[in-house]
Amino acid sequence: MGEVKEATKDNFQELVSEGLVLVDVWGPECRPCLALMPHVESLADSRDDLDVVKVEAPKARRLCMQLRVMGLPSFLLFNEGEEIGRLSGQDITASSLDAWLAELLPADGLDSGGAGT
């Protein structure tokens, strides 16, 4: 519960294959990525309807190419192994990430275990 998992090309498919999974593609040189990191970790703690997986882009270049990630930060949302949404850009804030998730995951849908407003 609340654990953020690190994805590699070897375990990525397994990590996104079940349930709702938010994938955070980030880089250590990306200031917006680093600024969002505490919020992403708090999402892992506060939303039991959502697993959180991180992909460190410089260490997973081939995986990023397969996912067609063109910029950082990038967030991909998977449901049962299928991508259902994508948010990318230097101007992402914690509130814009929350709004995007709320738009894709209504509080009364998809087995929402206590996800509120």
Let me know if residue 31 belongs to a domain.
yes
Number of domains comprising the chain? 1
Tell me the pairing of strands 20-26 and 51-56: parallel
Q: What CATH number should be reported for the domain holding residue 90?
A: 3.40.30.10
Q: Which domain holds residue 41?
A: 4-104
pLDDT value of position 110: 52
Give, in degrees to the nearest 5, the angle at Cα 90 between 18 and 11: 25
What is the pLDDT at residue 109?
52
Residues 13/81, Cβ–Cβ less than 8 Å = yes
> pLDDT by residue (tens digit) across 57-68?
999 999 999 999
pLDDT digits (tens, 9 = 90+) for 17-76: 999 999 999 999 999 999 999 999 999 999 989 999 999 999 999 999 999 999 999 999
Q: Does 36 map to a domain?
A: yes
For residue 109, being part of any structural domain is answered with: no
Residue 69 maps to a domain: yes
Q: What is the pLDDT of residues 87-107, one digit of tens each?
A: 999 999 999 999 999 999 876
> Is 116 part of a structural domain of the chain?
no
